[in-house]
Structure 1
Amino acid sequence: MVDTDGWVPQSRQRHIVRLAVFACALLGLFYLVAVQRVVDIGVVQHVVAASGPAAPLIYVLASAVLGALFVPGPVLAASSGLLFGPALGLAVTLAATVGTAVTASVVGRRGGRAGARALLGAARADRVDTLIERLGLWAVVGQRVIPGISDALASYAFGALGVPVWQMAVGAFIGSAPHAFVYTALGASIAERSGPLAYAAVAVWTVTAIVGAFAARRAYRNRRGRAGGGGHTGVH
């Protein structure tokens, strides 16, 4: 028996091992880039600044790839503001953010989709697919709003779970817009020595953090409620 994703029950163990290797590779990359900071963003800024009129496009492409490699999004967004100012910098940041989300989700789907289905089991994986059809877009938006979660790691996970590319792109654009403005504006305020721009960025960051905290709390309570309700259901 083979399902629509080509998952063969007899190869379940092989797919799970492949998923584990893929996850370990991502975590190792995350440690090197996000924790040890092996990528020098200053060098990237210098190369982009010297590229002339094509600099915004070059930075979109470079930033999309670097984001998928776990260079922190705030660093990339601040660099965009520093290089291009608040208006063009925001457009560049959002384009790069969408590019990162799409890139990571496609890689996640290729590297982890079969393993994720094998780990979940066919019946549970089908239920997840049904849930994603209804709520996948808003799951991506919600993840972007809730603080403390790596966007790149989440995008790889969403891809492995089968979230469509269009939902990743639209969800990343909507959910990342507040943070994109905040960090791009902070970078631009440094370049332009603009106090009001920095104050606006801090205000938006504060509001976004509060909304994200409430969203995380509500999601946690809803999950606990469903788990508690499930424990009292009878057998029919």
Structure 2
Amino acid sequence: MIARVRRLAPLLRQRSVARFTLLLGILALFGLTVLLLPQPDLADAPRLVDRLGPLAPPAAILLGALMMVVLVPRTLVSFAWGALFGTVGGASYALGAALIAAALGFAVGRTLGRDFVAERVRGRLARLDGWFARQSVLGVVTVRLLPVGGFGLISYGYGTTGARVRPFLVGSVLASVPSAFGYAAMGAAVASPGDINWFAIAPAGLGLVASTIIVTKWRRSRRAALAAASA
């Protein structure tokens, strides 16, 4: 049995390398697609929304999720949906899309990249991977609020770690609330100048305050941990 496992180990490592290479290729393709494709003309979008009727909200959620999966910035989706559906509707549909996109990105990253990363983490990287595995919702919110990458890219990256699914998804949505309402309100203001519902964008202001507090506490705890380690 042990001899068989030893014979299979190189094959399993080769497969993990192939899957990880495929993941990198997919991300590179998505990135090039976003950079090279021309910007869509949204002039006919309101008429399309009217024609879809009650199907417009689920279509917006699914399309927004697809856009985020291929690495279109989430803020652009929130802005566009705010212009089409108003502040509350646009932000809500953008958040629904973010939840689906986060789940898909995480699943792809876990399937294609987790084995490769788990086989190679050593030392500090192993401790970092353990930190991701122990992360709470607050930890995910903190990482999401840091300027370390786009929404889709972070989702794929989280899948390659030992992070748990539920805290990741809940934290991803909570961290998206401030900018979803803020950019949706901006989109709605562009579509209907002078018609801004300030109560609707209140979550953006509250979320900004909460984000500032979270990031400040994270930086203080990190400085304390570094000081304790160097002492």
TM-score normalised over the length of structure 2:
0.76
Contact 1:68 1:104 in 2 (8 A): yes
> Aligned partners of 1:74, 1:110: CA distance in 2, in Å?
27
**Which residue in 2 is equivalent to 1:140?**
140
Question: Which letter does structure 1 place at the counterpart of 2:63?
Answer: A
**Which residue in 2 is equivalent to 1:149?**
149
Task: Report SS of the residue matched to 2:135.
Answer: helix
Question: Which letter does structure 2 place at the counterpart of 1:45?
Answer: A
Alpha carbons of 1:211 and 1:24: their partners in 2 closer, same or farther (altered >3 Å)? farther
User: Are positions 1:165 and 2:183 aligned together?
Assistant: no
Task: Report SS of the residue matched to 1:28.
Answer: helix
**Which residue in 1 is equivalent to 2:45?**
45
> Aligned partners of 1:189, 1:80: CA distance in 2, in Å?
12
Q: How much has 1:92 moved relative to structure 2? A: 1.1
Within a 5 Å distance, the mapping from 1:1-236 to structure 2 comes to 9-10=9-10, 11-12=12-13, 14-33=15-34, 35-38=35-38, 40=40, 42=42, 45=45, 47-120=48-121, 125=126, 130-147=130-147, 149-194=149-194, 196-197=196-197, 204=204, 208=208, 212=211, 219=218, 222-223=221-222, 226=225, 229-230=228-229
Alpha carbons of 1:181 and 1:216: their partners in 2 closer, same or farther (altered >3 Å)? same
> Aligned partners of 1:109, 1:128: CA distance in 2, in Å?
16
Alpha carbons of 1:226 and 1:175: their partners in 2 closer, same or farther (altered >3 Å)? same
Contact 1:146 1:212 in 2 (8 A): no
Contact 1:45 1:79 in 2 (8 A): no
Task: Report SS of the residue matched to 1:141.
Answer: helix
> Aligned partners of 1:151, 1:132: CA distance in 2, in Å?
17
User: Which sections of structure 2, spanning at least 5 residues, go unmatched?
Assistant: 3-7
RMSD value, Cα: 3.7
- Residue identity (%): 26
- Which moved further from structure 2: 141-150 or 88-97? 141-150
Alpha carbons of 1:68 and 1:205: their partners in 2 closer, same or farther (altered >3 Å)? farther
> Aligned partners of 2:191, 2:156: CA distance in 1, in Å?
33
Question: Which letter does structure 2 place at the counterpart of 1:12?
Answer: R
Q: How much has 1:79 moved relative to structure 2? A: 1.4
Deviations 1:140-175 (CA, angstroms, capped at 9, x unpaired): 211232246201100101111132332232112211
The total of aligned residue pairs comes to 224
> Aligned partners of 1:163, 1:206: CA distance in 2, in Å?
27
Alpha carbons of 1:218 and 1:52: their partners in 2 closer, same or farther (altered >3 Å)? same
